[in-house]
Structure 1
Amino acid sequence: MSLFHRAAGLGLVALLAATPALAQQKTLRIAMTAADVPTTTGMPNNGFEGMRFLGYPVFEAPVLWDLSRADRPAGLRPGLAERWEQDPADPKTWIFHLRRGVKFHDGTDFNADAMVWNLDRFFKNDSPQFEAAGSGITRARIPIMAGYRKIDDFTVALTTTRVASYFPFMAVYLLMTSPNSWEQGGRDWARVAQLPPAGTGPFRLSRFTPRVSAELSKNEGYWDPARVPKLDRVLLLPVPEANARLAALRSGQVDWIEVPPPDAIPSLRQANFNVVTNSYPHVWPWFYQMGGSATPFRDVRVRQGLNYCVDRAGLVSLLNGTAEPSVGWLKPSDPNFGRPENRYGFDPAKGRALLAAAGFTPQRPLAFKVMISASGSGQMLPLPMNEYMQQNLREACGVNVSFEVTEWNTLLTAVRSGPEAPILNGSTAVNPSSPSSDPSVAARYFLQAFVPPNGFNWPQWNDPAFEEAFAALENAKGEAEFNAAYAKAHERLVDNPPWLYIVHDLNPRAMSRRVRGFVSAQSWFQDLVTVDLQ
């Protein structure tokens, strides 16, 4: 039995054991796609699924996502900071005015000292509380942090390495943990994870069993009385195999599953389950590696040609309409998509011609290896999807693709590694899904300054026209100037593609009709506060 099937089985055993004890309370049981419970120290692993379920419900940042609406992409709202602004004398400095009266779950106060303590935890390697794993995740998401200082008990200044109009979109990833939790854990993060640690969020982590489950409970003393959860508890179970999640939902062992198998969606609806989808800022691509000595992707004709070889409509059909074709980092409907010269569609003749011009012919076919995961946050159904891509590219354009199949967190580590790193085992492309929610994400994925280990520009992509347009975006003084620069930058992402654009996810999840009050936000993250059980 595979590791992933064993993990799924352990999760369901735990669920069955836990259900009777929780029957008297409103307990929402969720089957995640993760192969393990995300880490619990206040900066979860497992990508954005970790943030969705063991990040924001428990630990909060100065700035939070506004997940209250389904009809538009999620924006920002005040969190542990009531307001923030750029320093008029220094646009690289942002001033955060912290909320008063906020308590961590252990009863201690959140204030400027606690925030600076957490920043030291992530950004100061020689601090006693430095946490290497959490630091790696945070620094990758906020690669422009230069410094920070306490101004007074409820004001903190954060300084960036470059002017960044989008910095508040990075501040959402600064999750705060109680310094007292670390002391109670003997100043050992491994022990802190078992306590469990204290955040400020509407839920508190009440129980945690590695590989099996995590349990969240209502924070009755939450700082915003209007947002005290309706649920008493949330039980989180790692069930990476899609059919195992489906069986758990059908049998009543869970109330909610992430990413139901597409072919099961019609029968789920007929059986009176609620299947929810919504557009959100997500792209499921292959990243091209342009560094190293063994890559075929330095030639833009290869990268463009593959984008013309993909039958995206066929893949959407395989996914039963739970995705839409991707022809850029942003969706074509986005006002900042721009007007690129290339509008990728399924055009095998054009794809083969571009590959031939780059020297890849039927006599010398293009061949490369892609590192993929078996499941994970935002990965949809990666095994059948990648098998489809393998067959599609071979039949349409004579391209031979092989795979290095790994676990999701291993893939994330690989994406933070340089070309030809041993962890890649010869892969010259990787398949991690990506958010496309705001320019701060574009900065860390595409600017030359943020090649690993400084960010997520794993392809080692360098486009001077993109850099120029993005600098104009970072320094923009008004919305029109900002949007024009963003569109120009995105045109370069299409015409000089660092990625093979495949599909955008529609964020499907299935749940029992007992689940009420859920708003499918256009975001990777979702609000559990409004959810209730009938």
Structure 2
Amino acid sequence: MNRRRFMKLLSGVSLTAMTVTAVELAEMAGPLVAPAYAQSKPGVLRVAMTAGDIPLTTGQPSQGGEGVRFMGITVYDGLTRWDLSHADRAPVIVPDLAESWSVSESDRKVWTFKLRKDVKFHDGSEFTADAVVFNFDKLLRKDAPQYDPAQSAQGSLWTGPLASWRKIDDYTVEITTKQVDAILPYMLANLFMSSPKRWEEVGKDWAKFAEKPSGTGPWKLVAFKPRERAELVRNTEHWDKSRIPKSEQLILFPMPDANTRAAALLSGQVDFVEAPPPDVIPRLKAAKMQIVTNIYPHVWPYQISVLEDSPFKDIRIRKAANLAIDREGLVKLLGGLALPAKGHVDPAHPWFGKPTFEIKYDPEQAMALLKEAGYGPDKPVQLKVIISPSGSGQMQPLAMNEFIKENFKDVGIEVEFEVLDWEALRTRRRLGAWAPENKGRHGINNSFAYWDPDIGLVSTASSDAKVPFGFNWGGYSNPKADALAKRAKETFDLEAQNRILAELHGVIVDDAMWIWMVHDLNPRALRPNVKGFVQAQSWFQDLTPVIVE
């Protein structure tokens, strides 16, 4: 795209695709003086989420990774968790409700988890092996009285490896996977434990449980109103004394519009916002707001269909689409808060490998590939892609997608967008490209993490890991990718597993499995009196150390 068209598009996005401009924000926020944040209350942390609604409160949250961040690891615990206490290195999996685990030497599909003792749910009941069985049953056993379709759908991304589970004694659980699966501890960090006692108390009704949830996490949910706010208080009895929140109260506000979040921060309505709009960051800095960024395992792609009715079935079109995107221009559009993607994972990652297809901006090569595939100015490729206006990790999706639409048009690809609410988009992702609801849709714009091997590579590239029990939305299939994914799951040595994953990444990039645009830098904006936040190199973040002075 030439500079003139880029600047025209950039100004158009700033003024039309967003609800208000930076100038209007300044008028809304008033003068940049101390009274602008006089509404801050010590001990109360108010956060503006990008989500359009309060995530599901029963244990398996909705709203994607943001739901896990704000309604998963806050109110609940899993058997394992991510250590989010460092900003200078990638998080690792550590014990949580399970204090240790081991794999059987005779059958590598069988795991034994030793549970932590003296852990209490918020309702005072004890966490034991019975609670673990109860929670796995609620997700996977359709004949169980506690089975909950809503939680099952949300947890389906993580429960795929589980074949069976049973209580050995009060503090020991045995889990058997369907296949040898070295990745299981990563998956269990996303499966949260709800109180069986509270479910009984509310008449075995998950809708009523949602109004009065009980987990074992560092925060207790005490009240919420859909699409408006959720109020959490610190759990002073949390079993991990180092993770008892420093703030007395956490208030969550759904604010899907980026400029609304920024205005709320400037006017003192909130203390902490997710994904501030790039064009307002200078204004926020002038107001002495803290702008926090960090690299983390995350990419913004189009997951594409390679089914018979999709133009992307032709690798030449997949490669052309990847070569058509001006990623440096996209980074400028985002105010520098992103990095151009060279593949699914960033080039510094141990899984990057040595792909031979170089993802770059080369419109001439893109047009040559399209011509070879039978397309040209008089016969453009026709695409339809599902996108959302906001959501978990989506950055500024409307502006970004309009930019890409112009890039595609330059080389002979015409794209139409179907805009859905974030949670509606995730529902369509779980259905797969082959579902009737997705007929005629050739891609879905869903930001994607690669924090663990499964979500990162194995279940995106495996032909047998189709959604909802994997992440293969578009029917991608390559025997070499399948073989490497299987080897990675069967390899317990971390360095050897990394080498296999690097080879797998090379295969999917050379195949142009998806269209990859940018890695975002996870920006957040905090008021000057917010202290203690450590931005981990993760999609998840720990709010327990944060305090409003």
TM class by smaller structure: over 0.9
Pair 1:421-2:435 in alignment: yes
Which of 295, 300, 304 is residue 279 of structure 1 equivalent to? 295
Q: Could you tell me how far apart the structure 2 residues matched to 1:198 and 1:529 are? A: 18
Work out whether residues 337 and 490 of structure 1, in 8 Å CA contact, stay in contact via their aligned partners in 2: yes
> Could you say which residue in structure 2 is the equivalent of 1:191?
208
- Could you report, residue by residue, the CA deviation over 1:458-516 in whole angstroms, capped at 9, with x for unpaired residues? 01111111111222222225334222211110101100122100011100010101110
Q: How does 1:62-81 map to 2 (within 5 A)?
A: 62-81=79-98
Partner amino acid for 1:431?
N
Q: Counterparts of 2:185 and 2:434 in 1: how far apart (Å)? A: 34
Report the equivalent of 1:177.
194
Detail structure 1 runs of 4+ shifted over 6 Å in the superposition.
none
Partner of 2:353: 338
Give, in whole Å, the separation in 2 of the partners of 1:348 and 1:219.
55
| Equivalences for residues 493-532 of structure 1 within 5 A | 493-532=508-547
Question: 2:262 matched to 1:246?
Answer: yes
Residue 289 of structure 1 pairs with residue 333 of structure 2: no
- Counterparts of 2:365 and 2:159, CA distance in 1: 39
Cα distance in 1, alignment partners of residues 499 and 56 from structure 2 = 40
Give the structure 2 partner of residue 471 of structure 1: 486
Task: Output the CA distance in 2 between the equivalents of 1:146 and 1:497.
Answer: 33
* Amino acid corresponding to residue 427 of structure 1 in structure 2: R
Deviation at 1:454, TM superposition (A): 2.7
1:389-428 correspondence to structure 2 within 5 Å: 389-395=404-410, 397-424=411-438, 426-428=440-442
State how far apart, in whole Å, the 2-side matches of 1:436 and 1:373 are. Answer: 21
Matching residue within 84, 92, 103 for 1:86: 103
Distance 2:492 2:65 in 1: 31
Distance in 2 of aligned mates of 1:268 and 1:425? 43
Distance between the aligned counterparts of 1:97 and 1:218, measured in 2? Answer: 27
What are structure 1's unaligned runs of at least 5 residues? 6-21
One-letter code of the match for 1:93?
A: V
Which residues of 2 match residues 223-242 of structure 1 at below 5 A? 223-242=239-258
Q: Equivalents in 2 of 1:426, 1:73: separation in Å? A: 39
The reply on whether 1:376 has 2:391 as its aligned counterpart is yes
Q: How far did 1:115 drift?
A: 0.7
Report the residue type matching 1:169 in the other structure: Y
Q: C-alpha separation between the residues in 2 aligned to 1:456 and 1:133?
A: 18
* Partner secondary structure for residue 137 of structure 2: helix
- Match for 1:481 among 496, 499, 504? 496
> Counterpart amino acid of 1:37?
I
2:44 and 2:547 in contact (8 A); partners too: no
Q: Deviations over 1:93-138 (max 9, x none)?
A: 1111100000000000001001101110011011000010111121
Contact 2:530 2:548 in 1 (8 A): yes
The residue number in structure 2 matching 1:37 is 54
Deviation at 1:185, TM superposition (A): 1.7
Q: Could you tell me how far apart the structure 1 residues matched to 2:415 and 2:303 are?
A: 14
Partners in 2 of 1:378 and 1:191 — Cα distance? Answer: 30
Q: Pairwise CA RMSD of aligned residues?
A: 1.7
Q: How does 1:93-492 map to 2 (within 5 A)?
A: 93-194=110-211, 196-291=212-307, 293-395=308-410, 397-424=411-438, 426-441=440-455, 442-492=457-507
Distance, in Å, in 2 between the alignment partners of 1:78 and 1:55 is 16
Structure 2: gaps (5+ residues): 1-17, 20-38
Using structure 2 for the length normalisation, give the TM-score.
0.91
SS of match in other structure, 2:131: helix
**For residues 421-467 of structure 1, what are the alpha-carbon distances to aligned partners after superposition, in whole Å with 9 as ceiling and x for unaligned?**
34336321100001111212122222111113332210111111111
Q: Secondary structure at the match of 1:449?
A: coil
- Give the length in aligned residue pairs: 514
The alpha carbon displacement at 1:180 in A equals: 1.2
Q: Work out the CA distance in 2 between the residues paired with 1:83 and 1:418.
A: 36
Percent identity between matched residues is 44
* Residue type of the alignment partner of 1:398: G
Cα distance change, pair 479–41 in 1 and its aligned pair in 2 (3 A)? closer
